[in-house]
């Protein structure tokens, strides 16, 4: 529960709440959670949306939680926001006890915030509720003294770790324009000298009742956020609040607000808050308070000096040469202003049309003075060639759009002409090129090109594509070796088939039966795969030959890994030769991209040269990979265009495997615990050592092995940290046999250290829980494929990581090629300068000349498409960027394309979130309908099984449906069974849609209509509920009438259902007459007329007169219980009287009724007619019009 029962507690709960009957006991008071009190005091009502954020104290954005909730009378029903389809949407899981969930989050080292104005983004904020400020200068006593000096008391005040948040609630009819709110917030911050950043519409602030969490000296400290002031009915007009702050400012010598003053105050304040970044701005004149008290003539000058001083301090901090910062205060002010204007010029906005082609940008980089490619805000900078001047960054060129911007306003076409003239005068053949090579732009791809093609294999004209090449086995399709009869003795053979399709066995037949006398070179990415293939294909490995003192280049059949390729240089290729490229995708990536393949003892250039030798001298080249694509194949076919190409493809087919996607990271660890507790043995592929360490952190132990060893489980880990261990080496020698010999292993964790080729065939493990933090989809599929048996797979993939590609972040290979050419131009310029230096020193510069020529040759070959290596690298980088974007979606797509079906462990179905709102709503309705069908069609399980499911922390959808049906049947035994299946589905769908509110109204309606017929069993239930409150001080139910009647008795006393019975019609005047107990038509008309005013137009004298005449004469008990039981407040504010019909409607909805609103006669709200009617519910409808043919 989220409220506690305290005997004789004097803390008064919110008068808005409709408490249950227990709260009527004289000896019991309910202490409402401070968060609920805070929200109601800020003007929130039951049913209002509450939005918030839980921020990780360690500033780990992945652990932040956004949420949205619905306010109830004593809690918040919360749903978390999650990322789906790369949009943030509400998760299906509902935290009915939202305050307890927030408390768990708080204890999990997260700060608890709510968005005061009720929206996550500016677009979601439709209005505002209060004006507020945060006072964090000085001690609490000093802060409170300032707050007390404001002429009006606050509605809410929250004390945090070192500051006080002070709110002034405002009447709702003045809170529509959010721009007015921002302007008012600026004014208040200026007058109070408080935080000026509290002016954005979705501003998050701390919730009372939770802890302010902070890391201090490495330790996490918790300081409660205390609700110091909470006045539930203290609302003001905007004019009253602003008048109070203006009065405060006048009394304290603060000058009237102006935009220029606030600008200066905000600027200095922002700089003073940069202590955490290491920038400490400390100077007597650098004072934010100066702008609040200085003369108008001093504001602009002082702001310029502050900006100049802060800019020089920042340069000093970065180690740059600059003037003494003190000159900002002593130099003539006009000179200071000029320097500030040059430093803080207007931001440049790129144009939508291109002015500068890639070639022109390259020419600008080569021939413009002071060219800097890495300028700020995506702009390259240089000295303008048209107007010249002294500034070396007067010209800005946007690197993406190509837009020219000259600070002096020079014409863009004149700038282009000048750049081309400079290139022409220098003899550059590109001076008149519009695109690379003078004809075609390399940054524009073919119209039909899509980045997804980089992850596919395209069958080209002239290739032999054979798909009838497999035979069926009980576990799936494998290659039929008889297909090799169709392959000539000279060919490129591409094996494209899923993992476990017999590719290695097919190669074995090729080299050891058909061509047993041929010379063979096998190239693999890992030592493990090299050794496995060596054993299976009877090929010596490079290590074996060197241990015998034999040069690997002289071996007729040799297997090498990519970093050792250079040792094959000079190899003899006499006779028939075969080259085997197994796991070719990984091999190419490793050879051309990995740092391990470019060391002093293993230079990449030599290994690539050896690779080219192997390709050019082999008769049959076998390219094998489950995920082979054009990127790898094109490199081979470009080297050997003379060979025919045969593609042996086993097409994707439907494969049986239970695969579950986990979207909530926390469920990974809960699932591991749960499966182990059920007696299952687990294998856990993690794609990084860091993830393995993260598992340790979650369990708060030295290692996950120790945690389960203490419970009697055997755990085994293989990663880069443990691979040299004795047991790990034994495992790598023969993975399958090791697992067979150690059946006691219950938890096996491995990283990519268990590389390609080191597969485990034994069926020892019961389930796989895979964790993907960074690998692209195909690489991760290879990792999970190391364990061959098709056991249930649960996988989680993190969101996208920052792209650290130092060439280009584009999905298009041409952009990467352009980045290369730009680098070549810059290198050539550097070498040219070096050659000049050498010439001046009369030293031969042949080496540099040859390097320059080589760079020119590389660029020319690349532009002409004659560099397969450059094409391969650019394609690989573009593909990596493409696969690293929207990683979760691509992993799911990869499973589907491999023939598997994937289910979500967290939801019944997915919502497509890029659809219009109305379609999105339909999708959510469809999910609720499917959920209702699943629950009703689920079998009603036994008590033992129900309790077992409820104790499980992770449920599959079918288990969730069973548990939900079990829980509902416990609440309403036999009710669902009493309906037809169609009616039950319709009912449960409505129950899900309104979150059980209708069911609650059914209970209230029944209790009202049968208030005199409560049976002993019902009273026993009431007694049991009372006894749940251990601190209530109640030993027995006592007077049963007292327990069951006060709520209903009051309703009966005031004649509520006599006035508002089913079918009755009424206007606001009728409600006013009933609520204020009026008999005179004149009195009714007076209040009706008064309710038409706006609150800001009602003077204090008018409000006092209304209260004196109509409210104070009413019995205090009546007013108290009207507010307590029905939530109806009798106030002298016009708005409160006007909205009495809403309060009546809220009460009616508790009992299953609703209000229909008629047209306003003459546009007059006072004349609108309301009618009491039944709510749209299935139990009423089914008696008259039973639903038929439900197809959800």
**What digits encode the pLDDT tens for the residues 92-146?**
888 999 999 999 999 888 999 999 988 887 778 878 889 999 988 889 999 999 9
Segment 86-93 shows an average pLDDT of: 75
For position 842, what pLDDT does the model report?
44
Residue 281 shares a structural domain with residue 238: no
For position 38, what pLDDT does the model report?
93
The tens digit of pLDDT for each residue in 1100-1120 reads: 899 999 999 999 999 988 988
- Cα–Cα nearest to 825, from 371, 417, 445: 371
Could you tell me the pTM of the whole model?
A: 0.48
DSSP annotation of 540 reads E
| Tokens 């609490």 belong to residue | 140
Residue 304 shares a structural domain with residue 406: no
* Contact assessment for residue 928 and residue 989, using Cβ atoms and an 8 Å cutoff: yes
Report d(CA 525, CA 503) in Å as an integer. 17
Q: What DSSP assignment string belongs to 51-68?
A: EEEEEETT--GGG-EEEE
For position 502, what pLDDT does the model report?
85
Q: Burial-class residue 679 by CB neighbours within 10 Å (0-12, 13-18, 19+).
A: exposed
Query: H-helix or E-strand containing 547?
Result: helix 542-547
CA terminus-to-terminus distance, the chain: 36
Residue 522 shares a structural domain with residue 463: yes
Supply 672's token pair: 């591991």
For position 989, what pLDDT does the model report?
78
* Contact assessment for residue 902 and residue 892, using Cβ atoms and an 8 Å cutoff: yes
| CB contact set of 316 (below 8 Å; sequence gap of 6+) | 322, 325
Supply 926's token pair: 């469809």
Segment 822-849 shows an average pLDDT of: 52
Residue 1014: pLDDT above 60? no
For position 789, what pLDDT does the model report?
83
Q: How confident is the model at residue 17 (pLDDT cuts 50, 70, 90)?
A: very low
Residue 462's Cβ-side half-sphere holds a number of Cα atoms within 13 Å equal to 8
Query: H-helix or E-strand containing 428?
Result: none
Supply 663's token pair: 């979207």
Q: What is the CATH number of the domain that holds 570?
A: 3.40.50.300
Backbone angles phi, psi at 142, to 5 degrees: -65, -40
Backbone angles phi, psi at 899, to 5 degrees: 95, 10
Q: How confident is the model at residue 18 (pLDDT cuts 50, 70, 90)?
A: very low
Q: Within the chain, what is the greatest distance between any pair of CA atoms?
A: 118
Segment 1145-1157 shows an average pLDDT of: 77
In a domain, 618, yes or no: yes
| Tokens 């005031």 belong to residue | 1054
Residue where one domain finishes, among candidates 768, 797, 826 = 797
Cα torsion at 191, 196, 199, 202 (round to 10°)?
A: -140
For position 647, what pLDDT does the model report?
92
Beta bridge partners of 621: 492, 579
For position 10, what pLDDT does the model report?
31
Residue 78 shares a structural domain with residue 180: yes
Residue 205: pLDDT above 60? yes
Cα torsion at 451, 456, 459, 460 (round to 10°)?
A: 30
The tens digit of pLDDT for each residue in 646-678 reads: 999 887 766 778 888 888 877 888 888 888 888
Residue count of the chain = 1192
In a domain, 1054, yes or no: yes
In a domain, 421, yes or no: yes
Residue where one domain finishes, among candidates 770, 797, 824 = 797
pLDDT above 90: percentage of residues in the chain: 16
Segment 1010-1028 shows an average pLDDT of: 52
Cα torsion at 875, 876, 882, 885 (round to 10°)?
A: -160
Residue 762 shares a structural domain with residue 712: yes
Residue 220 shares a structural domain with residue 191: yes
Query: H-helix or E-strand containing 31?
Result: strand 28-31
* Contact assessment for residue 81 and residue 52, using Cβ atoms and an 8 Å cutoff: no
Residue 819 shares a structural domain with residue 960: no
CA distances from 78 to 66, 90, 91, 105, 324 (A): 10, 10, 10, 13, 55
| Tokens 């017999």 belong to residue | 502
The tens digit of pLDDT for each residue in 259-305 reads: 899 999 988 888 887 765 556 788 888 988 899 999 988 999 999 99
In a domain, 855, yes or no: yes
Report d(CA 100, CA 35) in Å as an integer. 12
Checking phi first, is residue 503 left (phi over 0); if not, alpha (psi -120 to 50) or beta? Answer: alpha
Q: What DSSP assignment string belongs to 771-797?
A: EESS--HHHHHHHHTTB-S---EEEEE
Supply 1094's token pair: 């706006």
Supply 1080's token pair: 């005179």
- Cα–Cα nearest to 152, from 229, 58, 64: 229
For position 921, what pLDDT does the model report?
52
Segment 703-716 shows an average pLDDT of: 75
| CB contact set of 675 (below 8 Å; sequence gap of 6+) | 682, 766, 767, 769
- Domain residues for the domain of 46 are 33-254
Q: Produce one character per residue of 644-665: b if its CB has 16 or more CB atoms within 10 Å, e if not.
A: ebbbbbbeeeebebebbbbbee
Residue 1177: pLDDT above 50? no
Q: How distant is the alpha carbon of residue 900 from its chain centre? A: 27
Query: H-helix or E-strand containing 633?
Result: helix 630-639
Q: What is the mean pLDDT of the chain?
A: 76
| CB contact set of 952 (below 8 Å; sequence gap of 6+) | 674, 959
Q: What is the torsional sign of CA 1160, 1165, 1168, 1172?
A: positive
Residue 514 shares a structural domain with residue 424: no
Q: What is the CATH number of the domain that holds 225?
A: 3.30.70.1790
In a domain, 892, yes or no: no
At how many degrees (to 10) do helices 178-192 and 259-272 cross?
70
Query: H-helix or E-strand containing 579?
Result: strand 577-582
Residue 489: pLDDT above 80? yes
The tens digit of pLDDT for each residue in 417-446 reads: 888 888 877 777 667 766 543 333 332 333
Count of C-beta atoms within a 10 Å radius of residue 948 = 13
Backbone angles phi, psi at 67, to 5 degrees: -150, 160
Angle at 476 between CA 475 and CA 479, to 5 degrees: 125
For position 1009, what pLDDT does the model report?
64
- Cα–Cα nearest to 357, from 439, 446, 427: 439
Q: How confident is the model at residue 1002 (pLDDT cuts 50, 70, 90)?
A: low
Report d(CA 1021, CA 1027) in Å as an integer. 10
Residue where one domain finishes, among candidates 649, 679, 713 = 649
Residue 201: pLDDT above 90? no
Residue 877 shares a structural domain with residue 970: no
Cα torsion at 830, 831, 833, 839 (round to 10°)?
A: 170
Q: How confident is the model at residue 500 (pLDDT cuts 50, 70, 90)?
A: confident
Residue 248 shares a structural domain with residue 267: no
Residue 249 shares a structural domain with residue 265: no
Checking phi first, is residue 419 left (phi over 0); if not, alpha (psi -120 to 50) or beta? Answer: alpha
Least confident segment among 338-347, 636-645, 777-786, 1013-1022: 1013-1022
* Contact assessment for residue 609 and residue 591, using Cβ atoms and an 8 Å cutoff: no
SS3 1051: helix
| Tokens 């008889």 belong to residue | 482
Residue 697: pLDDT above 80? no
511 or 984: whose pLDDT is higher? Answer: 511
Cα torsion at 1031, 1034, 1037, 1038 (round to 10°)?
A: -170
Supply 404's token pair: 């020219």
CA distances from 1170 to 799, 820, 1065, 1135, 1138 (A): 51, 74, 5, 18, 14
Choose from 235-244, 539-548, 992-1001 the range with maximum mean pLDDT.
235-244
Residue 680 shares a structural domain with residue 777: yes
For position 396, what pLDDT does the model report?
82
In a domain, 728, yes or no: yes
In a domain, 343, yes or no: no
Could you give the number of structural domains in the chain? Answer: 8
Least confident segment among 287-301, 422-436, 546-560, 1167-1181: 1167-1181
* Contact assessment for residue 252 and residue 192, using Cβ atoms and an 8 Å cutoff: no
Residue 917: pLDDT above 50? no
- Which stretches does DSSP call E strand in 480-531? 491-496, 519-524
In a domain, 785, yes or no: yes
Angle at 795 between CA 790 and CA 797, to 5 degrees: 145
Report d(CA 192, CA 252) in Å as an integer. 10
Choose from 652-666, 823-837, 1012-1026 the range with maximum mean pLDDT.
652-666
Supply 623's token pair: 């390219």
606 or 61: whose pLDDT is higher? Answer: 606
CA distances from 742 to 206, 714, 731, 736, 811 (A): 54, 9, 10, 10, 46
pLDDT above 70: percentage of residues in the chain: 75
Supply 1012's token pair: 């005199």
- Cα–Cα nearest to 538, from 518, 558, 553, 568: 558
Supply 454's token pair: 């980089």
For position 1076, what pLDDT does the model report?
92
The tens digit of pLDDT for each residue in 1028-1061 reads: 433 333 333 333 333 445 777 788 888 888 888 8
Angle at 539 between CA 535 and CA 545, to 5 degrees: 105
């Amino acid at each position: 529960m989220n409220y506690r029962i305290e005997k004789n507690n004097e803390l008064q709960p919110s008068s808005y709440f409709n408490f249950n009957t227990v709260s009527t006991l004289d000896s019991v008071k309910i202490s409402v959670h401070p968060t609920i009190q805070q929200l109601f005091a800020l003007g929130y009502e039951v049913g209002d949306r509450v939005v918030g954020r839980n921020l990780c104290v360690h500033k780990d954005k992945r652990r932040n939680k956004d949420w949205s909730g619905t306010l109830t009378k004593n809690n918040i029903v919360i749903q978390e926001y999650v990322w789906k389809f790369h949009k943030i949407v509400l998760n299906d899981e509902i935290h009915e006890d939202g305050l307890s969930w927030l408390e768990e989050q708080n204890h999990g080292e997260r700060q608890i915030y709510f968005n005061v104005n009720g929206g996550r983004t500016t677009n979601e904020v439709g209005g505002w509720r209060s004006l507020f400020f945060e006072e964090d200068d000085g001690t609490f006593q000093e802060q409170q003294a300032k707050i007390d000096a404001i002429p009006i008391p606050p509605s809410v005040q929250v004390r945090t770790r070192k500051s006080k948040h002070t709110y002034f609630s405002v009447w709702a009819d003045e809170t529509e324009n959010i721009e007015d709110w921002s302007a008012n917030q600026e004014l208040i911050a200026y007058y109070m000298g408080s935080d000026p950043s509290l002016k954005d519409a979705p501003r998050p602030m701390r919730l009372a009742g939770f802890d302010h969490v902070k890391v201090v000296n490495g330790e996490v400290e918790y300081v409660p956020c205390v609700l110091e002031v909470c006045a539930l009915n203290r609302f003001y007009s905007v004019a009253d609040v602003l008048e109070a702050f203006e009065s405060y400012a006048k009394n304290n010598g603060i000058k009237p607000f102006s935009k220029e003053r606030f600008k200066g105050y905000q600027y200095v304040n922002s700089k003073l808050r940069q202590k955490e970044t290491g920038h400490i701005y400390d100077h007597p004149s650098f004072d934010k308070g100066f702008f609040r008290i200085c003369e108008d003539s001093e504001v602009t000058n002082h702001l310029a000096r502050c900006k100049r001083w802060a800019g020089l301090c920042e340069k000093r901090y970065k180690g740059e040469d600059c003037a003494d910062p003190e000159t900002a205060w002593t130099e003539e002010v006009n000179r200071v202003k000029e320097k500030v204007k040059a430093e803080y010029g207007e931001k440049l906005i790129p144009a939508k049309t291109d002015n500068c082609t890639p070639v022109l940008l390259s020419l600008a980089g080569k021939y413009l003075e002071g060219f800097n490619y890495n300028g700020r805000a995506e702009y390259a900078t240089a000295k303008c060639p048209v107007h010249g001047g002294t500034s070396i960054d007067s010209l800005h060129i946007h690197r993406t759009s190509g837009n020219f911007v000259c600070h002096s306003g020079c014409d863009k076409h004149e700038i282009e002409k000048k750049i081309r003239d400079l290139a022409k005068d220098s003899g550059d053949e590109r001076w008149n090129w519009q695109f690379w090579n003078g004809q075609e732009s390399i940054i524009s791809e073919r119209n039909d090109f899509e980045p997804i093609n980089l992850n596919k294999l395209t069958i080209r004209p002239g290739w032999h594509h054979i798909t009838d090449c497999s035979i069926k086995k009980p576990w799936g399709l494998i290659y039929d070796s008889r297909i090799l009869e169709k392959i000539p003795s000279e060919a490129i053979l591409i094996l494209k088939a899923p993992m476990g399709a017999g590719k290695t066995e097919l190669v074995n037949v090729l080299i050891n039966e058909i061509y047993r006398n041929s010379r063979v070179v096998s190239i693999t990415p890992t030592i493990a795969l090299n050794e496995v293939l060596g054993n299976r294909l009877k090929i010596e490995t490079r290590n074996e030959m060197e241990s015998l003192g034999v040069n690997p280049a002289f071996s007729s059949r040799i297997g090498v890994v990519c970093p050792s390729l250079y040792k094959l240089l000079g190899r003899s290729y006499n006779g028939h030769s075969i080259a085997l490229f197994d796991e070719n995708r990984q091999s190419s990536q490793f050879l051309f991209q990995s740092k391990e393949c470019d060391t002093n003892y293993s230079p990449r250039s030599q290994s690539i040269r050896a690779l080219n030798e192997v390709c050019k001298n082999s008769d049959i080249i076998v390219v094998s990979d489950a995920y082979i694509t054009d990127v790898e194949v094109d490199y081979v076919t470009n080297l050997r265009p003379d060979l025919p190409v045969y593609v042996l493809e086993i097409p994707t087919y439907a494969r049986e495997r239970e695969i579950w996607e986990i979207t909530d990271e926390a469920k990974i660890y809960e699932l591991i615990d749960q499966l182990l507790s059920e007696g299952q043995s687990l294998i856990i592929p993690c794609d990084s050592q860091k993830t393995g360490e993260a598992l340790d952190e979650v369990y708060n132990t030295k290692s996950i092995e120790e945690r389960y060893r203490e419970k009697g489980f055997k755990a085994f880990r293989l990663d880069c940290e443990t691979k040299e261990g004795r047991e790990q080496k034994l495992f790598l020698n023969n993975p399958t046999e090791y697992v067979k010999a150690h059946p006691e292993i219950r938890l096996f964790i491995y990283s990519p250290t268990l590389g390609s080729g080191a597969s485990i065939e034994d069926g020892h493990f019961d389930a796989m829980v895979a964790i993907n933090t960074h690998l692209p989809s195909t690489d991760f599929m290879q990792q999970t494929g190391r364990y061959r048996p098709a056991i249930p797979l649960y996988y989680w993939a993190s969101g996208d990581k920052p792209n650290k590609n130092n060439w280009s972040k584009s999905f298009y290979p041409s952009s990467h090629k352009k980045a290369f050419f730009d680098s070549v131009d810059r290198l050539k310029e550097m070498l040219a300068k070096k050659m000049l230096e050498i010439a001046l020193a009369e030293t031969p510069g042949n080496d540099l000349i040859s390097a320059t020529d080589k760079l020119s040759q590389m660029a020319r070959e690349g532009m002409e498409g004659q560099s397969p290596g450059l094409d391969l690298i650019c394609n690989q980088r573009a593909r990596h960027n493409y696969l690293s974007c929207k990683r979760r979606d691509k992993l799911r797509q990869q499973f589907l394309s491999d023939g598997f079906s994937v289910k979500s462990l967290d939801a019944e179905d997915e919502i497509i979130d890029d659809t219009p709102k109305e379609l999105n709503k339909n999708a959510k309705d469809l999910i609720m309908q499917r959920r209702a069908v699943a629950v009703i069609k689920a079998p009603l399980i036994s008590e033992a099984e129900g309790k077992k499911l409820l104790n499980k922390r992770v449920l599959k959808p079918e288990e969730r449906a069973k548990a939900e049906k079990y829980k509902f049947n416990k609440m309403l035994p036999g009710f669902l069974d009493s309906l037809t299946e169609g009616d039950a589905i319709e009912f449960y769908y409505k129950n899900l849609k309104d979150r059980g509110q209708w069911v609650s109204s059914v209970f209230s309606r029944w209790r009202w209509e049968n208030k005199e017929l409560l049976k002993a069993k019902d009273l026993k239930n009431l007694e049991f509920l009372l006894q749940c409150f251990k601190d209530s001080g109640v030993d027995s139910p006592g007077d049963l009438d007292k327990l069951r009647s006060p709520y209903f008795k009051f309703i009966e006393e005031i004649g509520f259902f006599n006035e508002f019975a089913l079918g009755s019609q009424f206007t606001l005047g009728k409600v006013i007459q009933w609520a204020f107990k009026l008999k005179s038509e004149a009195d009714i008309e007076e209040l009706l007329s008064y309710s038409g005013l706006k609150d800001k137009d009602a003077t204090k004298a008018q409000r006092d007169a209304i209260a004196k005449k109509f409210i104070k004469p009413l019995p205090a008990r009546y007013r108290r219980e009207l507010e307590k039981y029905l939530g109806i407040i009798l106030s002298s504010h016009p708005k409160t009287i006007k909205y009495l019909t809403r309060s009546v409607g809220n009460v009616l909805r508790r009992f299953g009724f609703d209000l229909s609103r008629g047209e306003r006669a003459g546009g007059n709200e006072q004349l609108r007619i309301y009618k009491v009617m039944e709510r749209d519910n299935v139990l009423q409808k089914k008696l008259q019009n039973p639903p038929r043919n439900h197809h959800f």
